[in-house]
Structure 1
């Protein structure tokens, strides 16, 4: 019999989950197999931006399940076109390359950038370089972990893919030094999620955009976690008025129902790919496109961005009041926060376990940092309940 503290021995041990087994969810709440309810303040790393079992998304998925779910890209389907048009409009771009996971979308953007470099910029074949940032997290494929500086993600998975340069995040001088004639793209998270919700200086992304324009280099923004309402704007880049050449999207694009990701850009960049050079059996499938279309329609109203912005102000105000009372620092934007726990209180994992005992789910990273990312449907009193629980843990 399932029990909330008995993980399956048949699952490969690539995670060390908190001792809870979830069985259902509604809105900002989830319920375990023993019937206990928890406030979800992780939202599946922002994949559940619209809450669990959102009726509009469930209805879109259910309707499509009864029609057709997979055709492969050997044939067109009647959901893909409307989805691509709506997403392109939301991002103010021309084209959408549909994939499944965030890592797939990042890999796709890397291929696009290299092809663009060879076919448009004139970089000699096989010499293209891409500049990335320290502390990055773009996925777990072998190419992507090649340019990670996190030992737990990187070590023992070589040989590593060449062609990447790592510079300090937020350091425009280091970036300028790293960009040369072989550089085809700068790949960055506008806000680094896995690193602990690290927000760069406000002039950093505009300076990146200007440098890329000056040196004829693509600016690729990985908005897999930060995009689609999480930061109080449609994209985190919107916070500083920057438009990248390519958006890399995922997680929330699938509404917490199916894996959906995409690379979004203009014809002069994304149009470099030719038929047969890239693809995915499941990318752009009718079920994914139907759910993704409904996600874009929900974002088009601006309601969720406004909720994230307004409730995020309250969340951050409450959290900042805990600095000096068990917290060392608070960072973030919208309904997204990274909080550094005073080591004298305990590790991030220990604090998350204590929160679990108080009915709140959160996730630690890098030892002493906790990420908080409730669904955008969360209510003000639910934020207070979660922060009250955190305060109780920190000051007990």
Structure 2
């Protein structure tokens, strides 16, 4: 197990990750031991590790997965390949289609990045009704996913009787929008029982120990619209997640904490800092956050705005949002665009993170130098999406070495020539 191995000394994975992050390996080792950094990697898989958490560069995750309406596992695997090609640091399978195992198994066999799942989807699909699954179904699905090589799993253990009671007292406009959260709440109310993942969390940790499975503590109470943001139900769950993080650390199990959701832009800083405080600095994984509700079709941009700000305040892991969010299952093009936009958001966050800004701003400086020299090949190579940059310029060419917007009236070229002529005189 990573944490136990780290307590004994440096490992090859820690040394490699530290080199990638530009950080002292000994510092990274200490952050892993403290639980402030996670490196999701199942004992049964071998791939270049990614470090997520304090002092690390901001990472991004891409979601794929089948649904009842679009049950095409190979299509989802293609989307995963696209996401990784364009910079995704991890991929999650959210499949709920008939052949629910196909995408997960394909990802663990093929992907060279961490693979995540939501086992409660698998447990629920074993029955006609979500409420008919058993606690054994839930834990057996976790074990099956871990055995097949899944590196991290979302577990909605923070939804318990207390958080549901708070939700009932403070009615929301959209109540619960988390699919896993809704499954859990519906099961609890129908069966008049406590959440098995909360009640038997120690058993979950035993499974995690066996495979070095990283537990991503899901935000089942995350707000699904601006009107529901930053309420007591959300924070009741986060307090519980902080307690569960402590239990993970006691058992040397890696953990990540998931967060909202839909958050007004002026509440992002407070929200992120509160989550970090309540979970004792656990790696924080956010969907977005989305900062307005009125931009369907452009929610990838809305999420990138929120993600950049959240990253500035300490978010570590951004979940890709696509143009299809709230509308439909994303296409491969949606996945590509969502990945790129989220990659931009992660970089923007890194330009202001104390531990990353020197490296991030050096990349921007290198691009600026290339622009000053009108070095297009260099610019394509440095761009987050160099293929698109090249396509735009080369399909709208000019006889000038500048772009076709300015042509021979290029400001950079004119000023450069004017300064050179002035020096000659």
Comparing both chains, which one has the higher relative contact order based on Cα–Cα distances under 8 Å and sequence gaps of 6 or more? 1
Structure (1 or 2) with the larger CA radius of gyration: 2
Higher helix share: 2
Higher strand share: 1
Question: Does TM-score exceed 0.5, indicating one fold?
Answer: no
TM-score after normalising by structure 2: 0.30
